[in-house]
Structure 1
């Protein structure tokens, strides 16, 4: 009986030891603990590997648990501006005067044509009360153009229109009065590309005059600054530079030959087609050479600037006076045209000056305006 009890106690103790061995992984006998070192010189054991496994598992669970936290932090970090980074600023689009200018030009033409009883024709341009006393059709703008524009404030423009005015008397006889100048205030609701302040390109475009036109004085007439052509060449046929200019302009205006005969290699110029003139006569040449008596072509690469006056005969046989600014370059003992310049060359720091006063006559109406017939 006692032996049976001792046996049961022994079995229970053995089971308890086996359970502890299961949880605590009791070390193997000494002969299996020591492992042979691997090729790297490290020694491993079952207990060591078990600890590493636990650490790896804990690290993995820590990463899983911290994932949402890292996601929130990343979202908050991306929503704020980066430190030290300047955000680009969109460049402001300057307002264009094209739309207001065109509207003002149409308004002035309609205003000159309108008269008593036809004031409604101005309604598309000006919605204010209008009462005209001039007879309709008395004045007409045969041609007009905008010569000045200024944005008084955003979306509000001051436009000056020059109109070549013709009047008609009671007998129907027309008389050219001359160029007159009218200033108009134009307000717009269009986007900047059409003169307004709207930021959207799809914004509604609209224009309105704020009053009837105001006739104003002509712009001040000016004398141009000094030109850079100081040497007078005349029109001598013995001057190589003059002969090159004569041959080139004859081919350019009258189609007498190909331009390649007179131009530098690589120069891209085209003659006027169809030729508007039948003949070209050089009446004067000025250039920037140091001496007007120079006849010999200088060394290759020398540049010469010319201002050439010509009389070109049109298809009806009438002479037409024209001026051309040319750049010539020397090559192989001859002058060749390198370019037809956009404008005559002026001396450095040369500015225009006020022209002498001209008494207004019918021949000078483009300088001093004639009062309106109304």
Structure 2
């Protein structure tokens, strides 16, 4: 009996599902086969049903592929871009400022040190030193660096010029000529760069070496061949006198003596109370020519003056001026940076060396046996 009931139940289910399927078919058949939409296109029922199945399939495909696409996106974002430029480490440019300043301090301290005070050199030079000179025999009134060259990365050769004054046992002082000392300065960390790194370190590799002075130059001839003296009868001299008086004493306005459009300012506050012209040279052709030439003519002057300060003391100065003529008068067009020299006669070099005096030779420090 049980085996006969099962087929009946199965057949009943198949019949019910078949009837439901027939009902759906009847609903579909009741729908017009061809019904135009608002746009005028005709859509068939079978076409719309197939399109609906296709859309459902596409949605399920996207849902199923979501994890795969997410993994691919993560991997692509973490991988380095092929066309991206790799960052380049910035290299700090070497600067001689630090080594130069350290060398200047070292030389000044060295010149004033002596026997028994070698410890003052420890911040600059860690080697064992025994100085033979008496402390205080030499003092430095002024020093400056005149040359600095990086001979190896982080290693500098620095030359220091110093005004040295010698002192004897009787308390008498004598000013020596300018002396020159070269010293090797080694740098560590970020040393020698423009970055303010607190790890920068400097150290002298030896005691200073006294060297000869740089080559002395004899100045070339100035390009002012005509001597005007200090005559007040010359219009160009009068213009220079009035302009420099206004420039240095502030008694009058500069505009009275300058060309239109020239931007010059008087020194403020005025450092001098009075001015006297002591000599004028220019590059004009005729010494006796005093008439102002045609407009636009250019004249270069070299003017020497004695300016008296507020205390009544005269100070000698010289100025290079460029004048231009306009409307029958000379006007100052510029205050030149330096006097003009002849292009055909460059400065000539004359060798010059400084030989230490017997006192200076005796003051030369000696090294201890450990350094020899």
TM range (shorter): 0.7 to 0.9
TM-score by length of 1: 0.77
Q: Distance in 1 between matches of 2:268 and 2:43?
A: 97
State the match for 1:5 in structure 2: none
Q: Distance in 1 between matches of 2:39 and 2:343?
A: 85
Aligned pairs for 1:140-159 (under 5 A) are 140-159=139-158
State the match for 1:368 in structure 2: 354
Shift of 1:98: 1.6
Contact 1:252 1:272 in 2 (8 A): no
Q: Distance in 2 between matches of 1:176 and 1:299?
A: 54
Aligned partner of 1:283 among 276, 279, 290: 279
Q: RMSD in angstroms over aligned alpha carbons?
A: 3.7
State the match for 1:299 in structure 2: 295
Aligned partner of 1:273 among 269, 280, 304: 269
Shift of 1:142: 1.3
Deviation larger for 344-353 or 174-183: 344-353
State the match for 1:15 in structure 2: 16
Aligned pairs for 1:57-206 (under 5 A) are 57-78=56-77, 82-83=81-82, 86-87=85-86, 89=88, 92-189=91-188, 191=190, 195-196=192-193, 201-206=196-201
Name the CA shift for 1:245/1:63 in 2 (closer, same or farther; >3 Å). farther
Shift of 1:36: 3.5
Q: Distance in 2 between matches of 1:129 and 1:307?
A: 56
Aligned partner of 1:251 among 246, 255, 271: 246
Contact 2:246 2:266 in 1 (8 A): no
Shift of 1:115: 0.9
SS of the residue 2:106 aligns to:
helix
Name the CA shift for 1:162/1:202 in 2 (closer, same or farther; >3 Å). closer
Q: After superposition, what is the alpha-carbon deviation per residue over 1:194-232, rounded to whole angstroms, capped at 9, x for unaligned?
A: x259xx7444232221111110000011234565x3553
State the match for 1:354 in structure 2: 349
Contact 1:154 1:196 in 2 (8 A): no
SS of the residue 2:169 aligns to:
coil
SS of the residue 1:47 aligns to:
helix
- Structure 2 unaligned segments of length 5 or more: list them: 1-8, 364-372
Deviation larger for 211-220 or 245-254: 245-254
Name the CA shift for 1:208/1:9 in 2 (closer, same or farther; >3 Å). closer
SS of the residue 1:33 aligns to:
coil
Q: Distance in 1 between matches of 2:324 and 2:69?
A: 73
Q: Distance in 2 between matches of 1:260 and 1:127?
A: 62
Deviation larger for 10-19 or 249-258: 10-19
Name the CA shift for 1:52/1:125 in 2 (closer, same or farther; >3 Å). same
Shift of 1:97: 1.5
SS of the residue 1:59 aligns to:
helix
TM-score by length of 2: 0.77
Name the CA shift for 1:32/1:123 in 2 (closer, same or farther; >3 Å). same
Aligned pairs for 1:315-354 (under 5 A) are 315=310, 317-345=312-340, 351-354=346-349
SS of the residue 2:36 aligns to:
coil
Q: Do residues 311 (structure 1) and 310 (structure 2) align?
A: no
Q: Do residues 211 (structure 1) and 206 (structure 2) align?
A: yes
Shift of 1:346: 5.2
Contact 1:254 1:280 in 2 (8 A): no
Q: Distance in 2 between matches of 1:267 and 1:81?
A: 59
